[in-house]
């Protein structure tokens, strides 16, 4: 056993002692799950609807972590049943049996809530024998559960737990839109592919962009992203499709650092201590920062909010660049009640005029049209003139100040469909001081502190 293996072995024992559910906790949880399933079946009978009730996800597969015991109950319908019946049945049962419910809408509506202290989801899907019969994405989930239960050994369940906790510690666990990281199922098939947690990290040390993995001989054509892992139950799907380049790079960095020096802090990093607003402003002092803020829609779930916020930010960056502002970086932050879109720019105020480049004079028609247009345009300050065989003209800028640009032109940007109205009606342009608020102290601390989570 080499130095890495010996050091890692001690760390892993400690981690597993913290994250592995005790037999008592496991049994108590499954007593609640059994009661929930009985009640769901009774509800189905009272609705006169036929469906199988299946426990899926990490609780069914035995790969869940202490403190992360989410329960996924699927109502599996025959494909002859109308989609509307799936939706109304799942929502009705969820409202009846769960407390603190939240209705969510993906390909099928489903419902989240709490049952006897357990966070639960009740999700409808269609019964399929293979991915060829797929009606909607969630139909694969029971197949995933069956596949993992068939192929993952009891010992490997702990290896999955270690990988999940490692990813949680470095901020890369979860395929939801808020994180864009590694899903639980991706963790499970990574362990199936490499055999153990240590082996996953050892292989990841050599990963560069566009890593291609599978559990059999598969085609990788048609997929994009930093990591491609073909779904063993559906060769037309990349299990890692949600993974962002940033999370991929953090994982590879963490794998390299852990193999060099295994530390418990990779799994359980120190809590972030937010800096004071004064320190944040001091650290931001050399930057030009401007942004927008608007109320966070209360009825928009995270899965829909985050992609639309990213789309809005991209559109605002493109708007700024279209008017010659150089955007060095862009960030978004979602507070308790407010969404912030933040731009780091070279300058917030530009010169009054700019040089506009025209066509080569040798292209006679284009050159004639260019001269005619700009000789008559009221924005022209100087020219047109010829330099090195090409036409130029100096014109007044439409916007010198980025704040004025954002205030007046955001209305023409392509924004998220559920954010469009609220941005147009309620958005405010923010200076740096407006953006350094109590709500964002933790956000700015993470942005400005260049240490990784395991280094704090």
- Tell me the pLDDT tens digit for each residue of 383-441: 999 999 999 999 999 999 999 999 999 877 777 788 888 888 889 999 999 999 999 99
Query: Which class does domain 277-349+400-455 fall in?
Result: alpha beta
Q: Give the model's pLDDT for residue 169.
A: 97
Kindly report the CATH number that applies to the domain delimited by 353-396: 3.30.70
Q: Contact, 199 vs 260, CB < 8 A?
A: no
Is the pLDDT at 50 greater than 80? The verdict is yes
Q: Give the model's pLDDT for residue 213.
A: 94
Per-residue pLDDT of 359-389, as tens digits, reads 999 999 999 999 999 999 999 999 999 999 9
Is the pLDDT at 219 greater than 90? The verdict is no
Indicate the pTM of the whole model. 0.90
- Collect all residues with Cβ–Cβ distance below 8 Å to 166 and sequence separation of at least 6: 197, 201, 254, 258, 266, 267
Q: Give the model's pLDDT for residue 5.
A: 82
Per-residue pLDDT of 142-184, as tens digits, reads 999 999 999 999 999 999 999 999 999 999 999 999 999 999 9
Kindly report the CATH number that applies to the domain delimited by 22-150: 3.30.460.10
- pLDDT range class, residue 286, cuts 50, 70, 90: confident
% of the chain surpassing 70 pLDDT: 100
Q: Does domain 152-266 have CATH number 3.30.360.10?
A: no
The whole-number average pLDDT for the span 60-68 is 93
Per-residue pLDDT of 207-217, as tens digits, reads 997 899 999 87
Which residue(s) pair with 333 in the sheet? 340
Q: Give the model's pLDDT for residue 405.
A: 95
The whole-number average pLDDT for the span 297-310 is 88
Where in the chain do CATH 1.10.1410.30 domains reside?
Answer: 152-266
Distances (CA, A) of 249 to 207, 271, 304: 9, 22, 25
The whole-number average pLDDT for the span 86-112 is 91
- pLDDT range class, residue 355, cuts 50, 70, 90: very high
Q: Give the model's pLDDT for residue 438.
A: 92
Element holding 396 (H helix, E strand): strand 390-396
How far is Cα 434 from Cα 370, in angstroms, rounded to an integer? 43
Is the pLDDT at 1 greater than 60? The verdict is no
- pLDDT range class, residue 89, cuts 50, 70, 90: very high
Our measurement of the distance from residue 361's CA atom to the centroid of its chain's CA atoms, rounded to an integer in Å, reads 50
Where in the chain do CATH 3.30.70.590 domains reside?
Answer: 277-349+400-455
């Amino acid at each position: 056993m080499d130095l890495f293996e010996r050091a890692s072995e001690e760390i892993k024992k400690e981690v597993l002692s913290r994250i592995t559910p005790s037999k008592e906790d496991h049994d108590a949880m499954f007593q609640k799950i059994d009661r929930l399933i009985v009640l769901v079946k009774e509800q189905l009978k009272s609705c006169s609807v036929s469906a199988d009730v299946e426990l899926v996800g990490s609780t069914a597969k035995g790969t869940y972590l202490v403190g992360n015991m989410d329960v996924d109950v699927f109502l599996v319908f025959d494909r002859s049943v109308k989609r509307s019946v799936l939706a109304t049945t799942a929502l009705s049962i969820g409202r009846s049996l769960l407390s603190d419910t939240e209705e969510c809408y993906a390909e099928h509506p489903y419902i989240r809530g709490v049952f006897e202290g357990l966070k639960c989801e009740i999700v409808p899907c269609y019964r399929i024998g293979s991915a060829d019969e797929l009606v909607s994405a969630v139909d694969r989930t029971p197949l995933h559960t069956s596949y993992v239960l068939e192929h993952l050994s009891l010992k490997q369940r702990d290896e999955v737990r270690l990988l999940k906790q490692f990813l949680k510690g470095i901020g890369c666990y979860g395929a939801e839109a808020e994180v864009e990281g590694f899903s639980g199922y991706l963790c499970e098939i990574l362990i199936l592919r490499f055999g153990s947690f240590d082996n996953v990290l050892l292989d990841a040390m050599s990963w560069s962009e566009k890593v291609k993995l599978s559990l059999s001989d598969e085609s990788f054509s048609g997929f994009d992203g930093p990591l491609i892992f073909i779904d063993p139950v559906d060769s037309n799907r990349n299990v890692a499709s949600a993974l962002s380049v940033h999370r991929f790079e953090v994982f590879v960095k963490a794998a390299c650092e852990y193999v060099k020096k295994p530390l418990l802090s990779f799994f359980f990093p120190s809590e972030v201590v937010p800096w004071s607003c004064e320190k944040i402003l001091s650290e931001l002092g050399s930057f030009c920062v401007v942004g927008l803020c608007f109320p966070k829609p209360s009825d928009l779930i995270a899965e829909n909010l985050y992609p639309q916020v990213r789309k809005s930010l991209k559109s605002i960056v493109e708007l700024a660049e279209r008017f010659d502002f150089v955007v060095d970086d862009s960030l978004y932050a979602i507070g308790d009640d407010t969404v912030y879109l933040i731009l780091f720019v070279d300058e917030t105020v530009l010169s009054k005029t700019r040089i506009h480049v025209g066509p080569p004079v040798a292209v006679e028609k284009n050159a004639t049209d260019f001269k005619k247009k700009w000789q008559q345009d009221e924005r022209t300050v100087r020219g047109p003139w010829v330099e090195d065989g090409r036409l130029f003209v100096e014109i007044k800028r439409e916007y010198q100040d980025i704040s004025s640009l954002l205030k007046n032109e955001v209305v023409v940007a392509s924004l998220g469909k559920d954010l469009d109205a609220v941005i147009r009606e309620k958005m405010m342009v923010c200076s740096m001081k407006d953006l350094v608020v109590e709500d964002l102290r933790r956000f700015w601390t993470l942005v400005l502190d260049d240490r990784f989570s395991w280094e704090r």
